[in-house]
Structure 1
Amino acid sequence: MLENRVQFGLAPMEGVTDWPARLWFGQTSAPEFMWTPFLRVTDTFPGRELPRFWCPELARGVLPAAKSGVIPQLMVTNADDFARVAEQVLTTGGHEWVDLNCGCPSPVVVGGRAGSALLQHPEELGEMLRAVTGRLGPGRVSVKVRTGFAAASEFPAILDVLGELPLRQVAVHGRTRPDRYLGRARYDLVEMAARRLDGIPVIGSGDICDFATAEVARQQTPGVSKWIIGRGALRNPWIFEELRSGNPVTIPLETILGAIECFAWLHELYWNDGERLVRLWGDGVFEASAGLDPDRWRRLLDQVAVRGAVPGRRACSRTKMIWNYFRRFCYPCIFSINRKIHSR
């Protein structure tokens, strides 16, 4: 177990951390909190109602509370759109604050003046956040940022602006927009944020993929008590259990196969029978984690799979993405076995 208790959550990943994936990560190793992928907000979307399956966890009192706290994230270009949709989120009673995406480096997103493009002019970002926090109230908004739009030399100016605002928390990915996901995350800049944002909790992000790398992050950022993990969780979906226990996990092959098949079926239901998935959740099917136990995964599979059917192409495509991360980065031996089987 890590000294000086550090909490670990699942980072927001577009096209990855949708609702069925969050249910699945709750089954593998139950991160202590999770982000939704961003909801792209415009002046016309969403309308009077939030998308049904974007964040069902918000329906507190209607459905069971999620075992991991879920942070809803919005992507916008202006204060009015953020405040309008954030008010919809907050009135559900399912969460106390809403996160603003200021970190996505995608050229399409940046070209639309959203995501990390908001870091390009810190003073304008500050004006936007002042308007939003003035409307929603203190502690009702958090932000996720990178260390700069063009270069890390911009980061102090970004922190100066954020430090003047009544934010709930600030998540810092220790890379700039041009870095995307290459190179090493700058833990010194994550720690700088923790020191300079007095009274605002800072969450670190970048390069944690096992207990050893988590310990490096902890040692270099003593002011940070929470971290989020993205690609490291795709490489090893049981990483959160490893970090809690302080011991590397040994995953039975039967567990891996059951978990991967469950991932496919959760997405099949999500896209083609979402109401059934809601009912299963309401019935408490996902209340206890399956963890490393192959029998629990088999029982879960019996609940979510449709007899005599197979997941469709879309669900299989999403599952292949997870499997490719898993086998190539964390389990090369499994990749080798798989290749031999398919070459016969």
Structure 2
Amino acid sequence: MSVKIGEHIDLGEFPLLLAPMEDVSDPPFRFVCKQNGVDMMYTEFISSEGLIRDAAKSRQKLDIFEYERPIGIQIFGSDIEHMRQSSEICSAANPDLIDINYGCPVKNVACRGAGASLLQDIDKMVAMTKAVVEATHLPVTVKTRLGWDDSTKNVYEVAERLQDIGIKALSIHGRTRAQMYKGQADWSMIRDVKRNPRVKIPIFGNGDVDSVEKAAAWRQEYEVDGIMIGRASIGYPWIFREVKHFFATGERLEGPTIAERVEVCRTHLTKSIEWKGDKTGIFEMRRHYANYFKGIPNFKEYRMKLVELMQFDDIIEVLEEIKHNFTEEVA
């Protein structure tokens, strides 16, 4: 059976979603993930305050492209009226849905009363969500965590109450805010939410899915409607095609060759420059090189070169060198 968000977004039988990640899931990164079969993506999370102030960085994050659909714009904030206004601004950018972030654990978000902080005040979370739902014609979804800490795991209540005011899907990261990204994600509570007969909306699981085997095992064990993948896709957008291939055939797809890694890295760099301009595009790409070539022996020298260079042609030259030298070695 197809998984649907609202009336119009059909994600197929068991969708793979790209998690919204600050400073990562921008249009260049989303492009290479889309090429590798991801079913739905989200923008980086956008501050409602920034949107209302018309801050350039927040506005730029509203950029979405036709080939990315279906795509959601994710917003966060601590003020209900500002969240309502920002959902109107987002709706005008014409995404397929609006997602609210109630899961971000980082201090400068959670300690300002936004993100996962709302897990400490479910009444406010409900009021905020209701304001967003009523302000847009688009489906509204939510991403959250199990609770604020071990003594307040309230995701069951969150799921029921947010569904009751009209959200169309819920993504749950299997950790509390207190855990940040440490320890292991606990998906058993995600399964309990899914099993709740009152909960009719799609439930997506998130946290620690970093291999095809884990994706396949957890699909069965935790009964979710789809899986959201975040950190494991950084520098490895192939995870989406590998998981899909495994679901379809039960066989592991060969990992990307060095030539493929170089090619996708080059595409990512090119898109980064197209979207951000030469200087910023090249500078912000630096955080990705180590991930694209993870596990390759004696790569440090090349990584140092890549992060120092400021000219597109020079970077391409080093990438070609990598392709030539390491392909030969592997062969």
- CA drift at 1:107: 0.6
- CA drift at 1:322: 2.0
Partner in structure 2 of residue 143 of structure 1: 142
The 8 Å contact of residues 185 and 206 in structure 1, kept in 2 or not, is answered as: yes
SS of residue in 1 equivalent to 2:164: coil
Does 1:9 find its partner at 2:17?
yes
Does 1:130 find its partner at 2:134?
no
Q: 1:190-231 CA distances to partner (integer Å, 9 max, x unpaired)?
A: 112222352221111111112101012112222x22111011
CA distance in 1, matches of 2:181, 2:238: 22
Counting aligned pairs with the same residue, the percent is 22
CA distance in 1, matches of 2:228, 2:303: 36
CA distance in 1, matches of 2:94, 2:289: 36
Partner in structure 2 of residue 338 of structure 1: 299
- Which fold has the larger relative contact order, with Cα–Cα distance below 8 Å and residues 6 or more apart in sequence? 1
The 8 Å contact of residues 30 and 67 in structure 1, kept in 2 or not, is answered as: no
Residue identity opposite 2:200 in structure 1? G
Partner in structure 2 of residue 216 of structure 1: 217
Residue identity opposite 1:146 in structure 2? R
- TM-score after normalising by structure 2: 0.77
Does 1:179 find its partner at 2:179?
yes
- TM-score after normalising by structure 1: 0.75
Aligned residues: 286
The 8 Å contact of residues 170 and 201 in structure 2, kept in 1 or not, is answered as: yes
- CA drift at 1:156: 3.1
SS of residue in 2 equivalent to 1:12: coil
Partner in structure 1 of residue 260 of structure 2: 255
CA distance in 1, matches of 2:242, 2:55: 42
The 8 Å contact of residues 187 and 220 in structure 1, kept in 2 or not, is answered as: no
- The aligned runs of 1:192-207 (5 Å cut-off) are 192-196=192-196, 198-207=199-208
Residue identity opposite 1:263 in structure 2? H
Partner in structure 2 of residue 320 of structure 1: 286
Q: CA, structure 1 residues 69+341, in 2 after alignment: closer, same or farther (shift >3 Å)?
A: closer
The 8 Å contact of residues 46 and 85 in structure 1, kept in 2 or not, is answered as: no
Does 1:66 find its partner at 2:71?
no
CA RMSD of aligned residues (A): 2.7
The 8 Å contact of residues 30 and 68 in structure 1, kept in 2 or not, is answered as: no
CA distance in 2, matches of 1:48, 1:110: 20
Q: CA, structure 1 residues 232+109, in 2 after alignment: closer, same or farther (shift >3 Å)?
A: same
- Structure 2: gaps spanning 5 or more residues: 1-11, 247-251, 305-331
Residue identity opposite 2:168 in structure 1? R
Q: CA, structure 1 residues 45+233, in 2 after alignment: closer, same or farther (shift >3 Å)?
A: same
The 8 Å contact of residues 21 and 263 in structure 1, kept in 2 or not, is answered as: yes
Match of 1:37 among 44, 62, 67: 44
Q: 1:15-64 CA distances to partner (integer Å, 9 max, x unpaired)?
A: 0001121123223x131111111111118725499966423326xxxxxx
Q: CA, structure 1 residues 321+81, in 2 after alignment: closer, same or farther (shift >3 Å)?
A: same
SS of residue in 2 equivalent to 1:56: coil
Q: CA, structure 1 residues 178+317, in 2 after alignment: closer, same or farther (shift >3 Å)?
A: farther
Q: 1:65-97 CA distances to partner (integer Å, 9 max, x unpaired)?
A: 2244211111111222122121233244442x3
Partner in structure 2 of residue 238 of structure 1: 238
Q: 1:273-311 CA distances to partner (integer Å, 9 max, x unpaired)?
A: xxxxxxxxxxxxxxxxxxxxxxxxxxxxxxxxxxxxxx6
Residue identity opposite 1:13 in structure 2? M
The 8 Å contact of residues 102 and 114 in structure 1, kept in 2 or not, is answered as: yes
The 8 Å contact of residues 40 and 71 in structure 2, kept in 1 or not, is answered as: yes
Partner in structure 1 of residue 164 of structure 2: 164
The 8 Å contact of residues 264 and 318 in structure 1, kept in 2 or not, is answered as: no
CA distance in 1, matches of 2:194, 2:235: 28
- Structure 1: gaps spanning 5 or more residues: 59-64, 273-310
SS of residue in 2 equivalent to 1:77: coil
Partner in structure 1 of residue 120 of structure 2: 120
CA distance in 1, matches of 2:31, 2:113: 32
Q: 1:215-252 CA distances to partner (integer Å, 9 max, x unpaired)?
A: 12112222x22111011111521111111211333312
CA distance in 1, matches of 2:44, 2:164: 27
CA distance in 1, matches of 2:238, 2:34: 10
CA distance in 1, matches of 2:158, 2:51: 30
CA distance in 2, matches of 1:342, 1:106: 28
SS of residue in 2 equivalent to 1:42: helix
The 8 Å contact of residues 209 and 235 in structure 1, kept in 2 or not, is answered as: no
CA distance in 2, matches of 1:75, 1:260: 30
CA distance in 2, matches of 1:324, 1:177: 28
Partner in structure 2 of residue 78 of structure 1: 79
